Structure 1
Amino acid sequence: MESIPLVHASLGERELAAVKEVFASEWPAGQGPRGKALERELAGHFGVGEAVALSSCAAALHLSLLALGAGPGDEVIVADYTFPAPAHAVRYVDADPIFADVRADTGTIDPEAVADLIGPRTAGVIAVDTVGLPADYAELKSITDRHGLFLVEDAACAVGATYQGRPAGALAPVACLSFHGRKGITSGEGGALLTGDQALAANVRLRSSFGIGGIAEQARVIGLPIPEFTETGYNYKLSDIAAAILQVQLGRIEELLDRRRTVAARYAELLKDEELVTLPHVPDDRTHAWQSYILMLDPGVDRAAVAADLRAQGIGCGHGTWASHLQPVYETDQKCPVSADLFQRGLAIPMHAELTPNQVERVVDVLRAALRAHAGPHTA
């Protein structure tokens, strides 16, 4: 029985060749020549002034909050329906995450919920491009500008998506990307911070390298420069090995995204008349990066049983993403009912650029049988 994984990285010979070049060079570590080249290419691709290559999107979120001055006593409003990295980052700087509910149709942060949560301690907002779909940035930017708050775009899942004709990653003054293995482009792990603010980028770059700046550049200076630690920094550098992989992947964005779009379109065609699921909704003013394909099951369907059937047939699946406010680590009295409902009903089915038409059809056939087998007596 053929296994159809939930996710699969599209890495091949071109990426291997790039890695071999780094092996033959004198600098495989972070902030070397390949990393600097990647930063220039990222800035050019996304049309922003500055890009800082980092070890993860979580690192980018953490450093962005430090550079923006968030800290103890502050509240930062975060999207609730997401992997809880934004809320974790807020905790890293000893501020308090405040969870905003999401739109029922898109799963993206609800601007009205954001507006209702703003108080005297609010410092800013972290919006999330939920599993690859950009949030409502026109409304969010209007709200944050009106109240003098910062706005950060968590575009971890959204490389290749657009909002009102602009690329995800360039929709807020600061944006954070992920290059984790299940993202649209990947180096296994990795991330980047994008911004038009040169001073903020310099702050982030310094803090990402222990607070001493680029050692590779200093090593080429004649004499014996001795770096000085001017900030309490972190080891958040991206290796030149990973940067070389990402240079290749960056050139493949449209190719890989086109394949994901084809898979999403085929799922939509095959499932359009299935009454027991709700398909992903993409508003007319944006496009989806299809990092994941999440169906919302009818409330009467036993999701766990459906997942068990899929996995028994070798088909990967998952719950989708999290309602962050329900996670034990946060112990909050906040209620985000839309997010909680999506968290309970979501089912992620295989989505990656390596899926074949036959595999997509098999996923749908097995899914339909499982839905029928595990639907309650009063379901649609």
Structure 2
Amino acid sequence: MTAGPDHQTIALGQPTVGEEELAAVAEVFRSGWLAGAGPACRRFEERFAKTAGTAHALSTSNCGSALFLGLKVLGVQPGDEVIVGDYTFPATGHSVLQVGATPVFADIRPDIWSADPAAVEAAITPRTVGILAVDVAGQPGDFDEYRAIADKHGLWLFEDAACSAGATYKNRPAGSLADIAAFSFHGRKGITAGEGGALVSDREDLIAHARKLHTYGIEPAISREGSGGLPIPSFHELGYNFRLSDIQAAIMGVQLDRLPDLLASRRSVAKLYNEAFTELDGVTTPVELPDREHPWQSYILTVAPELSRDDIALRLRAQGVQCNFGTYASHVQPLYGKTETLPVSADAFTRHLAIPMHANLTETEVERVVETVREAVNALS
């Protein structure tokens, strides 16, 4: 059965953009600086550092480039091992491979799906140099415990905050919970320029080094604006082109203005879902721990083991309700060549179902999602 004319598709994710973003882009057009790492990027970086609770921020082309740059400036080398929370989009593990190191995946907590601190500590070997902890669906993991482990073993701590803009952990903002953190501004994230990312830290040395690396190994051109001479930079280190454009940065400035309202809308949708699904046998609602504020980048149901997550998903899609699996159990991906089984993450990979979550959802659409899920679950029970 397919969705009828009265049942328009309800998107799994959707950005909230409008005339304000268009006006900001027009201002960049008038400025004549459309390229990356320009004035709009610097203005956004100053504001985003405050949002993340850090002293410094660097805008990047995407979160993958921010993760890569972070690992580079932390000094990760071929032969090193980095412990990675297993339940994540593989960009996290990819970044470790891209710097020549080996990702060692740690199994996850069964409730909030971030790396289990006990599994993290058990994975440490003499080759371990750091911990790359993922805020799954935006909710921060156990960063006090991660920090204690890192300090005990002389490791650095890196927060993959791809989904976490606006989240908090014990009243501290996501991004400020580790030595360095990376964010994503992909189209499904809470704030977005379609693509983009940021690297944040209190350590000026790390961000300054990353700033050079993200512009081919030299200071961005804006640093030479207004010079009385003709400064010609020299290349001493292999760098990359990982800059955010000023067009995207202008959009992100407006998105930061919207952030409080966007978070409030997502939290309202999550509350409606929680209330509706609490009594539905066959699915379990996601957990928000009391010492954290969840940004609800995704809303993920856990389907009972006796039901088929995939069959429920097909029924939802047939009714015009977009959905997807949660995210990846990284260790089962062929690229990594792992043979061990991380049972909690592997189970989540087969049972999680992400349903529509974005700030534009109406109560009517939420009610339709709820009813469609209920019908699908009951039909298969």
Fold agreement, TM-score > 0.5: yes
Partner of 1:378: none
CA distance in 2, matches of 1:44, 1:78: 27
CA distance in 2, matches of 1:368, 1:67: 49
Which of 116, 128, 131 lines up with 2:122 in the alignment?
116
Which of 248, 251, 275 lines up with 1:245 in the alignment?
251
CA distance in 1, matches of 2:152, 2:168: 24
Partner of 2:340: 334
Partner of 1:11: 17
CA distance in 1, matches of 2:351, 2:262: 28
Partner letter of residue 162 of structure 1? T
User: How large is the Cα RMSD of the aligned pairs?
Assistant: 0.9
Residue aligned with 1:45, SS:
helix
CA distance in 2, matches of 1:302, 1:41: 45
Contact 1:99 1:334 survives alignment (8 Å):
no
Partner letter of residue 355 of structure 1? L
CA distance in 1, matches of 2:236, 2:256: 33
Where do 5+ consecutive residues of structure 1 fail to align? 376-380
Residue aligned with 1:329, SS:
helix
Partner of 1:202: 208
Residue aligned with 2:334, SS:
coil
Residue aligned with 1:131, SS:
helix
2:337 is the alignment partner of 1:303: no
Shift of 1:229: 1.3
Partner of 1:54: 60
Partner of 1:97: 103
Residue aligned with 1:134, SS:
coil
CA distance in 2, matches of 1:18, 1:210: 28
Cα deviations by residue, 1:220-271 (Å, 9 ceiling, x for unpaired): 3233222211210010000000000001111111100000000000000111
Cα deviations by residue, 1:119-138 (Å, 9 ceiling, x for unpaired): 10000000000011100000
Which of 230, 244, 253 lines up with 1:224 in the alignment?
230
TM-score using structure 1 length: 0.97
Contact 2:51 2:166 survives alignment (8 Å):
no
Which of 134, 153, 174 lines up with 2:159 in the alignment?
153
Shift of 1:219: 4.5
Partner of 2:148: 142
Partner letter of residue 272 of structure 1? T
CA distance in 2, matches of 1:205, 1:297: 44
Partner of 2:170: 164
CA distance in 1, matches of 2:222, 2:189: 29
Partner letter of residue 24 of structure 1? R
CA distance in 2, matches of 1:207, 1:353: 35
Contact 1:134 1:162 survives alignment (8 Å):
yes
2:353 is the alignment partner of 1:365: no
CA distance in 1, matches of 2:368, 2:84: 37
Partner of 2:47: 41
Partner of 1:264: 270
Contact 2:60 2:197 survives alignment (8 Å):
yes
Contact 1:294 1:349 survives alignment (8 Å):
yes
Moved more, 243-252 or 255-264: 243-252
Shift of 1:372: 1.6
Contact 1:271 1:364 survives alignment (8 Å):
yes
Shift of 1:328: 1.0
TM-score using structure 2 length: 0.97
Partner letter of residue 192 of structure 2? T
Cα deviations by residue, 1:293-323 (Å, 9 ceiling, x for unpaired): 0000001111111111111111100001000
Contact 2:53 2:172 survives alignment (8 Å):
no
Cα deviations by residue, 1:19-67 (Å, 9 ceiling, x for unpaired): 0000111211111100011111112222211101111111111011110
CA distance in 2, matches of 1:46, 1:186: 15
Residue aligned with 2:108, SS:
coil
Residue aligned with 1:53, SS:
strand
CA distance in 2, matches of 1:18, 1:120: 50
Contact 1:123 1:150 survives alignment (8 Å):
yes
2:319 is the alignment partner of 1:313: yes
Which of 83, 86, 89 lines up with 2:89 in the alignment?
83
Partner of 2:3: none
Residue aligned with 2:192, SS:
coil
Contact 1:43 1:194 survives alignment (8 Å):
yes
Displaced runs of 4+ in structure 1, greater than 6 A?
A: none
Which of 331, 344, 349 lines up with 1:325 in the alignment?
331
CA distance in 1, matches of 2:159, 2:224: 32
Shift of 1:283: 1.3
Cα deviations by residue, 1:181-212 (Å, 9 ceiling, x for unpaired): 01110010000011011111110000000001
CA distance in 2, matches of 1:66, 1:106: 29
Contact 1:310 1:366 survives alignment (8 Å):
yes
Where do 5+ consecutive residues of structure 2 fail to align? 1-6
Residue aligned with 1:21, SS:
helix
Partner of 1:107: 113
